[in-house]
Structure 1
Amino acid sequence: MSAIDWGDAPTWLGVVFAAAAAGAAVWTLASQRAQIREQREFIAVQSANLALEREELRAAAEARREAQAKQAYMHQQMEGCEWGDDGDVVPDHWVVSVQNRSDTPLHDLELRFGTAYLASEVHDLPPTALHGPNEGERRELPVAILGPGRALRFRSQCWSRATVHNNRPTLFFTDGNGLRWQLDSHGKLEEAPAVPGT
């Protein structure tokens, strides 16, 4: 048998340093992978936080955008001039009271009944008599401006009972920010198409 030649000390030192360098490289890669994983987790958390903040800001902006429009108040009732066989009044027209409860004027107010009919007349109304019979000065249609705290009373034409029931009122107006809104007889408020020509 022959003796194994294990080499000399410099070769051994070279092998030890190469192994140490390889170990350090593996440790560095593992450390970098851990750092990258932590950074991705941090970025994911930050992205989720930013998305929540954006949603909160959007909701706040939406609330501010609708704030004045939500201050428009509308009360509607059917009225009639004739008595039916059952002793009740036969409704033949709508009477709609509108009040601006905001601190900024509303513009370009008009009231539509169903899709085809506009109000036949509108009068100023004292805010204290919102549901009372007293009416003030007659206004032009559409009403160009309704100041803060002011009120109007709109009337429809006289129709048959079925036409009255099938043509519920919807208020259209522009707020102080120039946004066009519609408020239906059920209290649903939503953006409306812009007034033609504006």
Structure 2
Amino acid sequence: MGGIDWGDAPTWIAGVFAAGAAYYARATLKSQQHQINEQRDFIAQQAENLSLERAMLQRDINDRRSAQARQVRLDVSAQGFELNDETGQPELADRWEVVVRNDSEGPLYEVSTSFGDRPASWINGPNTAGRRLRILARSLTATFESPVFDPMQLRSVRPVVQFKDDRGVWWQLSADEELQDIDAPGATIIPAPAPAPHVSPVVTSE
């Protein structure tokens, strides 16, 4: 029976330790990779949760911001019609009447109604075409009347109401109850006049 070749024993032992170290390194690397993947999944989940929380918070802010404006109601009716002798039905209406109802808990400011580029008249006062109703208190209404249109075109010209809420935000409300915030109307920039050209005095010799 041959004995152990002790001359190769150090090499053998070193090989065993090297193999063990390599196995340990692979196991450690695999564990670290698993931890990294778990951390990535956790971070991704946290990012998704934060995104949902931000979206919910933004919706809550938007809801609070538009709470008063969403309590404004429009009652739109066609006027100036004639009754058909045969059917008894109204036809040939040539203008709109718009009743703005402030069902909110606060006043509205600078209320106006327009039809395309043509303003309505606030019929509760004289000479009000194109003028804004300065204040509409809560639980009150204001009635606007459109200009007279061709009866065949009336349906294509729908009212749009603009107003400012009690927080100073401007809103636009269409006849189909589409509500959107807008920039303050009428904020046009008028360019400054150009400076007058410099004119040298004319010197005449006698």
- Note whether the superposition's TM-score is higher than 0.5: yes
Give per-residue Cα distances to partners, 1:11-39, cap 9 Å, x unaligned. 55544443333332222111111111111
Matched-pair identity in %: 39
Deviation at 1:76, TM superposition (A): 1.2
Q: Secondary structure at the match of 2:104?
A: coil
What is aligned with 2:101?
99
Whether the aligned pair in 2 keeps the contact of 1:100 and 1:148 (CA below 8 Å) is yes
Whether the aligned pair in 1 keeps the contact of 2:109 and 2:134 (CA below 8 Å) is yes
Any residues of structure 2 matched to 1:6-85 within 5 Å, and which? 6-7=6-7, 13-80=13-80
What is aligned with 1:112?
114
What residue ranges of structure 1 are gaps of 5+ in the alignment? 124-136
Structure 1's 155 and 39: CA in aligned 2 closer, same or farther, altered over 3 A? same
User: In the alignment, does 2:179 pair up with 1:177?
Assistant: no
Which structure is richer in relative contact order (CA contacts within 8 A, separation 6 or more)? 1
Matches of 2:172 and 2:185, distance apart in 1: 11
Matches of 1:146 and 1:45, distance apart in 2: 49
Structure 1's 21 and 90: CA in aligned 2 closer, same or farther, altered over 3 A? closer
Matches of 1:41 and 1:110, distance apart in 2: 54
Q: Secondary structure at the match of 1:38?
A: helix
Q: How many aligned residue pairs are there?
A: 183
Structure 1 or 2: more helix by fraction: 1
Structure 1's 73 and 26: CA in aligned 2 closer, same or farther, altered over 3 A? same
Whether the aligned pair in 2 keeps the contact of 1:84 and 1:90 (CA below 8 Å) is no
Whether the aligned pair in 2 keeps the contact of 1:79 and 1:89 (CA below 8 Å) is no
Q: Secondary structure at the match of 1:111?
A: strand
What residue ranges of structure 2 are gaps of 5+ in the alignment? 189-206
Whether the aligned pair in 2 keeps the contact of 1:102 and 1:149 (CA below 8 Å) is yes
